[in-house]
A and B are shown apart, each in its own frame.
Chain A
Amino acid sequence: MATEKVQVIEKILDANDQLAAQVQTLLTEAGVFSINIMASPGAGKTSVILKTIEKLSDKIRIGVIEGDTAPVTIDSDKVMALGMPVVQINTGGQCHLDAVMMDRSLKHIDYKDLDLLIVENVGNLICPAAFKIGTHANVVISSIPEGDDKPYKYTNIYRGIDVLLINKIDLLPYLDFRMDYFQQGVEILNPGLTTFKISCKSEEGFEQWINWLFHQVQEFKNQVNA
């Protein structure tokens, strides 16, 4: 039997992208600025989130969505201990959050009462890059012990992000991390990317990140209310 060709030209993850756009509209209408934190396991996602809460929770209302592959509540317990609203997503082994999980989790957190919603994605440098979840800004945390070659190997995660945190800079004297080489790779993938070099331990550089984030939240509020 003769076959017939049907032109499609549809982005493979278009359904996810569309739902992500809807999620973003929900958050925007509620005046909640949201960030998606992506990094490899152990880069310091939870530490950055906890310290960010510590520095900002007297100024703005913060909530957290914790993405984890397994039903362990180690991260969300830490956030809860700070008195912040938190909802945990168990991806059931899946390596990334997607817009469907985000949409579902918003039903379990009073996001309308927040100024800032922080989403901790699953620790992974490959999969989260492909799936939009509807946040207003995408953040990657790289850390010194991971090595300086990551932008050259994991190109996608550095594309289309809005800010990069280079964490654990207190370890620079002890490791052979070539900052120039690392940043040169990032520059190819995302020219002019806003970058903060920080340490959760010594708090070096943390203030700049906090100022940037606080400014973003305020700018966003002004835009939404305008």
Chain B
Amino acid sequence: MTEIQENVVPDAGMSVDVSQRVRMWAAFRRNKTAVVGGVLAVLIVLVAVFAPLLAPYDPLVQDAEVRLSGRSAEHWLGTDDFGRDVLSRIIWGSRVSLIIGLVSVFLGMVAGTAMGMVAGYYGGKIETLIMRAVDVLMCFPDLILAIAVTAVLGSNLVNLIITIAIVMTPRFARLSHGQLLKIKESEYVIAAQAIGARVPRIIVRHIFPNIFGELLVAGTLWVGVAIRLEANLAFIGLGVQPPTPTWGNMIREGVDVLINAPGISIFSGLSILITILAFNTLGDGIRDMIDPRLRGE
């Protein structure tokens, strides 16, 4: 494929030229698992968005007569201890998991990347201060930190998003800091500095497009982490409170009736598993896509 001329020096704004993009997309399409993961992730997001239209029943309506009924024609996945339709609750539960998962990772990415890039670019005391704070936050395992912050902030939707964003921020900070250190000494950055470009312009136009790939991979993979954290918190009882259906809540309620109606826990857990799986395979696919070795170059 050498007849296509490639830009050697990343141009202002675009870090890859068109032919490279075509090759990346082709590489992604070749990876069948990644495509499946991507399609699955999109489908799950659509389910969450269109939950009111898709769910056969109202997830909060109780019907004592059909408590703990197994799978049937009326209730495809059965009912729970209050007679609520499990399938509808799972469909509505996707909203909580996805909102928390996606928004918290996005917030963490914005905050963490900003912190990491500032720390990496300016160095010195700023870098020490920021990266020390990051080190301290990462001294606690994810879940422990999330539990502690939840204890302070409380268990409603917005605060859960903030909590998990706080857990994700140091990860992104470390990642972008490392990437920035690698790129800082590149010729095009030095050239930009030499012609007197101001710092924000250098960061936005030259540095950021080149670390964006890594950020995207990490972001996609860490959506799975965020969703799992939310489910963990919900299972402990620190998540969004009942009667709002969330997958973690449902597993917890299902454990009480595990012997009689294992389906509740099994299917809500399966939803979490499939969602995380989708984002993991998608993230792996994106990672392979941006790796030039695997594009056949």
Chain A complexes with chain B: no
